[in-house]
């Protein structure tokens, strides 16, 4: 369908057929008429979107984008806003901030129709930006900067695998995003958001966050289920050094989402906060007491028993405490009690009483990070850590034995780090490890897994022997080897064999 046909269908060529219709009818008038009808006629929206896509595809760039003016920009902004609003999610007034999936069943088809019209526009803008006509090129550049944030937010909303999208709508959103990036002469989404160093080209991140800001307030953020996903998706696309420039725009919404009563929102918020901690300089995080506020918010999350939340909170806390705590001037000296000690003390308390296997695995995997960060400071917690290690070695956690594998690694790292304090704990730990060897040899495990567990336990016994200056090896020689299995016997023989010095 050509442009003249579209204009006739819209009844916009009356009295101007002899003047070729399109040239006699300004683009401002056409856009305003489409917008007026689109807002007024509910039953004709789908056909109007199709007509708009055809109009934008077939129009000459010099007619679509004449010399830039405020009226032209306003006409395009009104049209794009009305289109994107048509595919907007229904408002959610529930405290949970979620609606049943059936509420979104018509959104993918609407988004696909709107996306097709917007894609036609961006494709024309992409060509117009490269036009030899300076008026057309300037008008197109001004328009893409004006419309870019709305086009990006629409694309981000329908880009992810969520209840209001399907494969077709996601594909259309991705095409629109790529076309928008190309129209702004950006080579990637990151460049679209952050801009280019060459030529001082500004990115879309600031305007996009400004567009989202009214919906990211305490009163509004749950009224649109998509906004938190759009915000988090945009946030994680941006790293160093750009994110620091937008800290005041991304930190409050992330903290707000993490403070919700629903676990999935807490997890999403902490995920955003962790990205901020990793990608913003420590000095900026400490400014205005931001890091301290974040520390208290994360510390309070440790009292939950929700495994998905604990899994994201602990790594975030560890990285945050590295920002809050001053590095040692002399690494060999012991560190004074710090926030690391407060957090580890609480974690060890929870670990002693924890019976959920999934939480036991999460806690043990993060103990290694604490030992690496605290160094010899871990010696302040050896009494409680010993009880945890002994308790976790006694309980099997399923076919893969993840918790017990990691707790053996924790014990090995602890012995290597705090070896001067380990000789006095040799008796308790050695007995626990020997019981563990006997238990493992009789359990129905995969041969590879059993060998791995036996090897790690034997390595821990060997390290304990070194800490006790060979005293453990003497005691092991006195063990009655007639009551142990062949696999345990091999371990003991390897431990008591003469060591090459």
Residue 18 has what pLDDT? 38
> Is 297 a member of any domain?
yes
> Is 332 a member of any domain?
no
CA atoms within 13 A on the CB side of 125: 29
Residues 247, 227 within the same domain: no
Which DSSP state fits 132?
S
Residue 145 has what pLDDT? 92
What does the pLDDT look like over 285-319, one tens digit per residue? 999 999 999 999 999 999 999 999 999 999 999 99
Q: Which of 23-27, 200-204, 213-217, 350-354 has the lowest mean pLDDT?
A: 23-27
Mean pLDDT of 5-22: 56
Residue 480 has what pLDDT? 61
Q: Which of 15-24, 157-166, 217-226, 258-267 has the lowest mean pLDDT?
A: 15-24
Residues 291, 174 within the same domain: no
Task: Report, in this order, helix, strand and coil percent for the chain, each rounded to 5.
Answer: 75, 0, 25
**Residue 373 above 90 pLDDT?**
no
Residue 329 has what pLDDT? 53
Residue 225 has what pLDDT? 92
> Is 448 a member of any domain?
yes
Residues 290, 377 within the same domain: no
**Tokens 């990691």 found at:** 406
Residues 465, 430 within the same domain: yes
Residues 187, 256 within the same domain: no
**Residue 479 above 70 pLDDT?**
no
Residues 180, 110 within the same domain: yes
Last residue of a domain, one of 282, 305, 324: 324
Strands (E), 11-170: none
201 three-class SS: strand
Residues 126, 247 within the same domain: no
What does the pLDDT look like over 353-363, one tens digit per residue? 988 999 999 99
Last residue of a domain, one of 211, 232, 253: 232
Residues 296, 358 within the same domain: no
- Percent of the chain topping pLDDT 90: 54
The Cα–Cα gap between 379 and 421 comes to 7
**Residue 15 above 60 pLDDT?**
no
> Is 342 a member of any domain?
no
> Is 344 a member of any domain?
no
Residues 396, 451 within the same domain: yes
Q: Which of 89-93, 332-336, 437-441 has the lowest mean pLDDT?
A: 332-336
Q: Which of 203-217, 363-377, 444-458, 487-501 has the lowest mean pLDDT?
A: 487-501
Per mean pLDDT, which of 40-49, 94-103, 228-237, 330-339 is the most reliable? 228-237
Residue 222 has what pLDDT? 92
**What element of type H or E holds 243?**
none
Residues 98, 196 within the same domain: yes
pTM for the model stands at 0.90
What does the pLDDT look like over 446-455, one tens digit per residue? 888 888 998 8
> Is 10 a member of any domain?
yes
What does the pLDDT look like over 127-157, one tens digit per residue? 888 888 888 889 999 999 999 999 999 999 9
Nearest 5°: CA angle at 291, between 288 and 293? 80
> Is 335 a member of any domain?
no
At 44, is the pLDDT very low, low, confident or very high (cuts 50, 70, 90)?
confident
The Cα–Cα gap between 496 and 195 comes to 65
Q: Could you tell me if 416 and 463 are in contact, meaning their C-beta atoms sit under 8 angstroms apart?
A: yes
At 224, is the pLDDT very low, low, confident or very high (cuts 50, 70, 90)?
very high
**Cα dihedral 148, 149, 154, 155 sign:** positive
CATH number, domain containing residue 497: 1.25.40
Higher pLDDT, 60 or 179: 179
Print the domain residue range for 412: 352-501
- To 10 degrees, what angle do helices 486-496 and 426-442 make? 150
- Total domains present in the chain: 3
Mean pLDDT of 115-133: 91
Higher pLDDT, 365 or 486: 365
**Tokens 């014990």 found at:** 411
- To 10 degrees, what angle do helices 447-467 and 402-417 make? 20
Residues 134, 208 within the same domain: yes
**Residue 490 above 70 pLDDT?**
yes
Mean pLDDT, all residues of the chain: 87
The Cα–Cα gap between 150 and 154 comes to 6
**Residue 339 above 70 pLDDT?**
yes
Last residue of a domain, one of 232, 254, 275: 232
Residues 111, 260 within the same domain: no
Contacts of 209 (CB under 8 A, 6+ apart): 234, 246, 249, 250
> Is 213 a member of any domain?
yes
* DSSP state string for 174-191: HHHHHHHHHHTT-SSHHH
The Cα–Cα gap between 253 and 273 comes to 10
- Tokens linked to 339: 């926030």
Higher pLDDT, 370 or 7: 370
């Amino acid at each position: 369908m050509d442009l003249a046909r579209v204009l006739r269908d819209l009844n916009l060529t009356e009295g101007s057929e002899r003047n070729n219709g399109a040239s006699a009818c300004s683009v401002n008038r056409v856009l305003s008429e489409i917008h007026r009808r689109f807002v007024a006629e509910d039953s004709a929206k789908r056909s109007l979107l199709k007509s708009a896509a055809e109009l934008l595809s077939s129009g000459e760039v010099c007619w679509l984008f004449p010399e830039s003016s405020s009226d032209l920009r306003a006409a395009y902004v009104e049209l794009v806003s009305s289109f994107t609003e048509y595919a907007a999610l229904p408002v959610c007034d529930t405290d949970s901030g979620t609606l049943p999936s059936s509420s979104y069943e018509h959104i993918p088809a609407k988004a696909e129709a709107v996306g097709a019209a917007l894609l036609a526009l961006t494709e024309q803008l992409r060509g117009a930006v490269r036009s030899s006509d300076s008026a057309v090129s300037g008008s197109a550049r001004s328009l893409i900067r004006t419309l870019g944030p709305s086009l990006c937010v629409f694309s981000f909303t329908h880009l992810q695998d969520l209840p209001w999208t399907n494969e077709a709508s996601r594909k259309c959103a991705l095409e629109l995003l790529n076309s928008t990036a190309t129209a702004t002469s950006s080579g990637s989404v990151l460049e679209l958001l952050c801009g280019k160093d060459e030529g001082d080209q500004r990115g879309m991140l600031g305007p996009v966050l400004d567009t989202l800001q009214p919906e990211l307030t305490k009163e509004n953020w749950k009224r649109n289920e998509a906004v938190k996903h759009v915000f988090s998706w945009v946030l994680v696309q941006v790293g160093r050094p750009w994110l620091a420039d937008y800290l005041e725009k991304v930190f409050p919404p992330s903290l707000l989402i993490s403070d919700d009563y629903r676990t999935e929102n807490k997890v999403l918020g902490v995920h955003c906060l962790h990205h901020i901690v990793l990608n913003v300089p420590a000095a900026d995080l400490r400014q205005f007491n931001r890091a301290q506020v974040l520390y208290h918010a994360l510390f309070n999350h440790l009292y939950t028993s929700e495994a998905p939340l604990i899994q994201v909170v602990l790594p975030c806390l560890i990285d945050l405490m590295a920002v809050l705590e001053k590095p040692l001037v002399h690494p060999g000296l012991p560190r004074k009690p710090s926030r690391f000690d407060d957090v580890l003390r609480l974690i060890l308390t929870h670990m002693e009483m924890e019976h959920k296997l999934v939480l036991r695995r999460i806690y043990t995997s993060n103990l290694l990070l604490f030992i690496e960060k605290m160094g010899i400071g871990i010696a302040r917690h050896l009494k409680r850590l010993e009880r945890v290690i002994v308790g976790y070695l006694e309980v099997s956690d399923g076919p893969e034995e993840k918790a017990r594998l990691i707790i053996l690694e924790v014990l090995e790292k602890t012995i290597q780090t705090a070896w001067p304090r380990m000789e006095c704990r040799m008796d308790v730990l050695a007995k626990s490890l020997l019981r563990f060897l006997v238990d493992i040899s009789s359990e129905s495990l995969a041969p590879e897994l059993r060998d791995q567990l036996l090897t790690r336990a034997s390595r821990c016994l060997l390290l304990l022997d070194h800490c006790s200056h060979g005293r453990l090896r003497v005691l092991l020689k006195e063990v009655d080897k007639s009551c142990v299995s062949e696999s345990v016997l091999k371990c003991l023989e390897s431990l008591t064999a003469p060591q090459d010095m």
